Amino acid sequence: MDFSDPQRHADGMSRPKESFIPELGSVVDALPGLVWTALPDGHVDFVNQQWREYTGFSGDAWQMAIHPEDLPRLLECLRSSISTARACEAEVRMRRFDGEFRWFAVRANPITDASGTVIKCCGLNWDIEDRKRGEELLDLAQKAARAMAFDWYIQQKINAWSPEQEALYGLPPGTFDGTYESWKKLVHPDDWPGVVASLKHAQETGNISAEYRVVWPDGSIHWLSANGLMFFDDRGQPFRMVGFTADVTRRKQVEEELRRTRLELAHVARVMSLGALTASIAHEVNQPLSGIITNASTCMRMLEADPPNVEGARETVRRTIRDGHRASDVITRLRALFSKKQATTEVVELNQATREVIALTLSELQSNRVILKTELADDLPLVAGDRVQLQQVILNLLRNASDAMDSVDDRPRQLLIKTEQDADGGVRLSVQDTGVGFELEKMNKLFEAFYTTKKDGMGIGLSVSRSIIANHRGRLWASANDGPGATFSFSIPCDRTVRDN
Amino acid sequence: MSTRPLISVVDDDESVRESLPDLLNEFGFDAQAFSSAEEFLASDWLSQTSCLLLDVAMPGMTGPDLQQELKVRRQQIPIVFITAHHDETVRPHLLAQGAVECLFKPFTDTDLLHALNTALRP
């Protein structure tokens, strides 16, 4: 066999041999590809019209049409095809008549005689330039986006992951067996419920969007972000997932740092404002207390004198009583301050107010691995109230729910926010968690100031929340779930003037 | 003319100004009350004052301001601060500046008497 010398059979080119049906020549010429036949020794004895038109010359110089870098690969492919009598495929660049190279797929099919000896090789080369460009573009896009494409036929359990995709999971190339179970083992167990929830969501919407950690075989942890589409079979079962996975570990680290800084800041702000509040309360109360003690001390000394100074003592007692009232006035003023009579009243769309709070806390909830679900009722009546105060209550309930699930590791940390219309026309919002719950006999204590079940809690959130809701002529209550966790709800009446408007 | 030592009370809180002088009298001192540092500085009692019971936080000139002003005027009147702000960080600072004592309101009569006796010790 000799494919090396293009000049050797220079005189041997011909039109299709007489063995062809005449019309077949036209068919072959009409094919959208370059058709050729070659003898076992490598001599190309036929090329179709497409071939001649593309290359600008006849088949005897065919090697001139192949890109020098690709020629050895093609020759090897053809040699093995003829020696093994099996079809072979290769992708090579072919020179067009004007000198431009385009990618072609080459498929060579050996023809054997009765004894099994290869007597000829038929081939078809078809233009795959566009596909190659697409692949190149995809490759570039993947590199640019630092993301890797996946195309996974879930039920067929075949490894459809690219080596790059496997690399994102720290796997050596070709070692992922394509099963759901194997994938599950790669995902961090804490994040698996979130992944399952994302897949459930994808089953409803067709859109895959998930962020989760994977544990590499070396034990290191990496954050991946996967986005893509899910396809379903006739029975509605998902069978294929296509999309991109990107390593977002660095971004997650930055986010985590940000979150921690924000938490620290919030804590400092809370402690500072509480500290300032405490100091001013102490000062306000200490002034009259100081008067009371001084007056009482003076009174005692006056009465103990010989003779007792009853008139002076009477005066100190009068002042003691006055200072007592003054202390009481301080407390009344403080209560008025907290009940905030001057609260602004506006028309509040509770769903919108809730969405804003969710937007504020979403990243916090996600980093606590809380799965948030919302069921916001359509056509919820408007309420009259202080929007910011109501949002403080919602924020407080969300934080409490999230905190209550901090130690939960044996079940999904689910948080459901629901709005609905009350039976008596009011508006109700409830926050349901799957957290540690509370003991029924402590139900009333929950709303007392400075009562807390958290190790670093201040115990003022729920009591302030309850007073805010009371100012809206509503009520705030807690109930235990059928399953694990608790539900905190408030309902506020729908304002008549608002409703009439 | 009394020979009893004069204790001047400077406090913007009226109930302090009313109650403390009576107690000081019971202790055996003369007492004068002033509602501000400025009022005290402008009064004739300044030179006769044996000890100053001085509030820390007041509108206008504060207690520490008055302490500095008296230093500038070379008036060596012993000062006992009285404050309703329980700020432990303020106390060492005031003592370092030469105050005899710093009492947190509400204080007991014995604590006050002890501080005054320290201040008036020759």
Give Cα B116 distance to the centre of its chain: 9
Measure in Å the smallest separation between the Cα of A450 and chain B Cα atoms: 21
Structure-model confidence comparison of residues A367 and A451, the more confident one = A367
Q: φ and ψ at B96, to 5 degrees?
A: -65, -30
Q: B63 pLDDT exceeds 80? A: yes
Report pLDDT digits (tens) over B78-109. 999 998 877 778 889 899 999 999 999 899 99
Q: Which of B18, B84, B108 sits opposite A287 (nearest CB)?
A: B84
Q: Please tell me the predicted confidence (pLDDT) of residue B100.
A: 95
Global ipTM:
0.85
Percent of chain A with pLDDT over 90: 28
Q: Which of A52-66, A155-169, B71-85 has the highest mean pLDDT?
A: B71-85
Average pLDDT, chain B: 91
Measure in Å the smallest separation between the Cα of A286 and chain B Cα atoms: 6
Q: Please tell me the predicted confidence (pLDDT) of residue A10.
A: 41
| Residue A256 CB partners (closer than 8 Å, separation 6+) | A367
In whole angstroms, give the CA distance from residue A128 to residue A295: 102
Return the residue of A nearest to B112 by Cα.
A294
Give Cα A151 distance to the centre of its chain: 19
Are B84 and A316 inside 8 Å of each other by CB? no
Strand pairing partners for A35?
A124
Q: Are strands A147-153 and A118-127 parallel, antiparallel or unpaired?
A: unpaired
Q: A425 pLDDT exceeds 50? A: yes
Tell me the chain B residues in contact with residue A292 when contact means C-beta distances shorter than 8 Å: 106
Interface of B with A in 63-122 (CB under 8 A): 82, 84-87, 104-109
Are B109 and A312 inside 8 Å of each other by CB? no
Strand order in the sheet with B6-10: B30-34, B6-10, B49-55, B79-83, B101-104
- Which residue in the block uniquely carries the two structure tokens 């994302």? A198
Return the residue of A nearest to B57 by Cα.
A283
Q: Are strands A486-492 and A427-433 parallel, antiparallel or unpaired?
A: antiparallel
Measure in Å the smallest separation between the Cα of A445 and chain B Cα atoms: 30
Mean pLDDT confidence for A382-395: 84
Q: What is the DSSP string of A448-499?
A: STT--SSTT--S-HHHHHHHHHHHTT-EEEEEE-SSSSEEEEEEEPPPHHHH
Are B23 and A302 inside 8 Å of each other by CB? no
Percent of chain A with pLDDT over 70: 82
Q: Which contacts of B94-100 are long-range, i.e. CB under 8 A and separated by 24 or more positions?
A: B94/B56, B94/B64, B94/B67, B97/B64, B97/B67, B97/B68, B98/B67, B98/B71, B99/B67, B100/B51
DSSP3 helix / strand / coil % (chain A, rounded to 5)? 45, 25, 30
Tell me the chain B residues in contact with residue A315 when contact means C-beta distances shorter than 8 Å: 22
Q: Please tell me the predicted confidence (pLDDT) of residue A330.
A: 75
Return the residue of A nearest to B28 by Cα.
A301
Strand pairing partners for A153?
A240
Mean pLDDT confidence for A71-93: 90
Q: A185 pLDDT exceeds 60? A: yes
Return the residue of A nearest to B110 by Cα.
A297
